[in-house]
Structure formats: structure tokens, C-alpha cells
Amino acid sequence: MTRTAIVTGAGQGFGLALTTALAERGTTVVACARDGDRLRRALAGLPGVVALPGDVTDPGFRAELVGAAGPGLDLLVHNAGELGPSPLPRLGEYPLDPLRGVYETGVLAPLGITQLALPALRANGGALVTLSSDAAVEAYEGWGGYGSAKAALDQLAAVLGVEEPDLHVYAFDPGDMRTAMHQRAFPGEDISDRPEPASVVPAFLRLLDASPPSGRYRAADLGAAA
């Protein structure tokens, strides 16, 4: 069983649902998000959860985050991400400054945290999970910014899986979920047909418990409730 975990983007959506489930399993979770008030409200009363507000694009905060987890860290979940502008722009008109923000949050920050966390993860034979998306492997109009960042993150996970054979490194694709980010991607549309994030968490936990070889896994293939 996981002893100590870091979950980024834990103030809402899938990150919050996963943090709750891990805490219920007895895991100590260091949970971070940019919005400190929302993070503390969301996690209030959860046993063994350390709410640590901060921005993963800040190197100082990344060091604080990994330091808070300590040497017992054996699970690192890169859930934090940045959608980019809404409505989603086509690549031909995509403003580059917001795109840099998407890559900073979705690619460079996870790698920066991973580099700091590797000594503990190696010592504990731990697991590293990046949150993927079908936009990483499929071409959807308007999803070029977010999708290319997720594709890059998938590749980082794949290479880390080769370079770190003693770790379990997974890219986990949860599928569409009813989240604030997904709503921003479809402004004005009804997304109530998408599953709640909590319904996808069991698939994530099955992945951890089964400990298959490093690779990319879809919640739909792991029997997630929809």
C-alpha cells in the first residue's frame, strides 16, 4: 500500500477525488493547488492530508512540495494541468504566451518535480503517474495546445519508464470527466453526460494495485465506472 503520495492539482476534480480516496486508504497525501482557500476547504477533515498551496511552475515551491513529502514518498501523481485559452483556439491563431503557460504547467513542471522526487521514489520502489488525455493521441480541432502538451508528457513518462526500470511509471488516461476544465473547453455546452471524477478513481487504484509494467493505460480498459 502506498505510504506517502504527492498529488498536484488537488483542489477540485480528479485530483480532489483521488486525494480523498488515497486518504481513505490510510495514505499520507501532500496535496497542492494554486488556489489555497479552495484547497483547504476541499480537504478539510481528511485524515493524513497536508494541504500545500502553491504553483508548480515555481521552482521554490516544487522543492517545498517534495520536501514536505519526505523520504517516504512512494507515489507521485502529476494531475495539475493548464487548458489554455477558452474557447480553444486553432493552432493557426494560437497566442504563444498562453501556450508557454500550458507547457510550463503541463510538461516542464512535472519534470521538475520528478527530478526532485526521484531519489525517494527510487529508494521506495515507488510509482509515478502522469494524467494523460485522448487529445494526446488523437487530433481534435482546437486541442493542439493542450493535446501537444499531453503528448509531450506521455513521452516523458514513456522514457522515464525505460530509464527508471525499478519504478512503475504510468501515463493514465481517465477519459472525459465532468470537471471545471472540461467545461471551459466547451463553454456554454451541457457536459452533464460526462462521468464524475470520483467514478474514474477506482480504475486508477486498480492500476496501482495491479502494478503492471510501465506504460500508458486508459481508465476505460481498467473497468472504470462510467
Half-sphere exposure of 167 (CA within 13 A, CB side): 27
Catalytic residue among 103, 146, 170, 217: 146
Helix (H, G, I), strand (E, B) or coil at 41: helix
CB-based contacts of 81: which residues, under 8 Å, 6+ apart?
9, 105, 106, 131, 146, 149, 150, 181
Let me know if 103 is a catalytic residue: no
- What's the CA gap between 14 and 31, in Å, rounded? 12
* Burial class for 185, CB neighbours closer than 10 Å (0-12, 13-18, 19+): buried
The gap between the terminal CA atoms of the chain, to the nearest Å, is 26
Residues annotated catalytic, as ranges: 146
